[in-house]
């Protein structure tokens, strides 16, 4: 059956609308892009593995500790690790917390909604009482500031939720690298399809959270709540980190009278798809920490490309950030394919019209992004 053609889109980014409708990605399919995207996602997968384990450790084992001095040590405090920590020869777990706090602040979807329910409040109070048992100082503090510790429990839920989300993404990116090494991945659409398959496979994976206090398990996010990987962690993550983000200190004024930061959270465009890679390496720019972490795990074939650049390794973090941004447009493509109201290769004219409206609505948010820059 021959499909009825749609009129060309009149959107300013019509090229990308048509590209998605034809099964292509937001990023051009070139051999260099494939190498960059797969290579940087290999490094990112290793880093996410570390981030995920630490976030879950903090949520479960640093629960309601006001001064968790050794929270980045995953329960293994040694002199060697301390020296590496002080010398900054370590994973920058601070970036993982930056992402967690961005998700907590922006909120969205089931996890955010659940944390406002009476069920969560009752479970949180139960766990707080158990944790404070025999601690009169903390009991007194909780009495004076009854909203303080419940807010810490809310934050712990995001530690755990983001950790569980990154666990899936880490495995997905590392398996992508393995498939590339075996010659199974040779194009950007294949990269996107791999990511989409991974998102779909774990879409209904339960997101739960519980802590053990004095030998007893206390549910904070029970399985019965029905929170799942895709809708309740992946979508809010894309919204918070890919699109909105938070303004980097030192790059804009936080003075409300300067009007350099939008008044509405929904108008924020500081996410990974908008950020200028050039400030990477500067103090106060959170992604600098991520790029520093990824530089330690670059596959040789990608590191060699960077060495052959005009500045060789003098701007390594910037080059890593540029590749990372390309990879995030591939992840975003997979997300759009998964969220579209109908399969993008449908031949039904009404379904194609619905997809067109969906894509054009999303393209409105890409107008000021770096989608055209990464494709130059």
Q: What stretch of H or E contains 322?
A: helix 316-339
CB atoms near residue 308 (< 10 Å): 8
- Residue 2 predicted with pLDDT over 70: no
Phi, psi of 249 (to 5 degrees): -55, 135
pLDDT, mean of residues 226-243? 95
Residue 257 neighbours by CB distance under 10 Å = 6
**pTM of the full predicted structure?**
0.93
Give me the pLDDT at residue 8, please: 87
- HEC string for 61-128: HCCCCCCCCCHHHCCCCCHHHHHHHHCCCCCCHHHHHHHHHHHHHHCCHHHHHHCCCHHHHHHHHHHH
pLDDT at 3 (0 to 100): 57
- CA distances to 198, 293, 299, 324 from 45, in Å: 14, 11, 12, 12
CA distances from 89 to 42, 99, 197 (A): 20, 21, 36
* pLDDT tens per residue, range 316-372: 999 999 999 999 999 999 999 999 999 988 889 999 999 999 999 999 999 999 999
Express each pLDDT in 178-211 by its tens digit.
999 999 999 999 999 999 999 999 999 999 999 9
Every domain of the chain and the residues it spans: 14-374
What confidence tier does 284 reach under pLDDT thresholds 50, 70, 90? confident
pLDDT (tens digit, 9 = 90+) per residue, 288-321? 999 999 999 999 999 999 988 777 777 899 999 9
- Phi, psi dihedrals of residue 356, rounded to the nearest 5°: -60, -45
């Amino acid at each position: 059956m021959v499909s009825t053609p749609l009129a060309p889109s009149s959107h300013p980014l019509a090229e990308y609308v048509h590209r998605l409708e034809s099964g292509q990605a937001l990023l051009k399919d070139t051999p260099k892009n494939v190498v960059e995207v797969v290579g940087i996602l290999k490094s990112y997968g290793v880093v996410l593995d570390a981030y995920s384990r630490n976030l879950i450790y903090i949520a479960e084992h640093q629960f309601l500790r006001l001064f968790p001095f050794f929270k980045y040590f995953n329960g293994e405090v040694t002199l060697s690790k301390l020296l590496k920590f002080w010398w900054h020869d370590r994973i920058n777990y601070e970036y993982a917390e930056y992402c967690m706090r961005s998700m907590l602040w922006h909120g969205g979807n089931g996890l955010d909604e659940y944390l406002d329910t009476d069920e969560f409040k009752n479970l949180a109070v139960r766990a707080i009482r158990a944790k404070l048992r025999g601690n009169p100082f903390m009991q007194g503090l909780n009495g004076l500031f009854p909203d303080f510790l419940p807010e810490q429990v809310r934050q712990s839920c995001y530690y755990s939720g983001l950790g569980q989300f990154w666990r899936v993404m880490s495995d997905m990116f590392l398996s992508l690298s393995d498939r590339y090494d075996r010659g199974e991945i040779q194009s950007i659409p294949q990269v996107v399809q791999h990511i989409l398959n991974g998102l779909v496979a774990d879409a209904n994976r339960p997101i739960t959270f519980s802590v053990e206090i004095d030998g007893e398990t206390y549910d904070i996010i029970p399985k019965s709540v029905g929170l799942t990987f895709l809708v309740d962690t992946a979508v809010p993550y894309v919204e918070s980190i890919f699109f909105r983000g938070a303004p980097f200190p030192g790059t804009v004024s936080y003075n409300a009278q300067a009007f350099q930061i939008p008044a509405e959270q929904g108008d924020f465009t500081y996410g990974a798809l908008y950020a200028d890679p050039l400030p990477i390496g500067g103090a106060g720019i959170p992604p600098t920490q991520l790029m520093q972490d990824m530089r330690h795990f670059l596959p040789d074939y990608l590191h060699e490309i960077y060495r052959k650049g005009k500045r060789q390794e003098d701007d390594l973090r910037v080059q890593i950030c540029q590749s990372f941004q390309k990879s995030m447009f591939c992840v975003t493509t997979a997300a759009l394919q998964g969220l579209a109201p109908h399969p993008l290769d449908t031949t039904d004219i009404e379904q194609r019209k619905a997809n067109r409206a969906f894509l054009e609505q999303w393209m409105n948010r890409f107008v000021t992004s770096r989608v055209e820059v990464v494709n130059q």
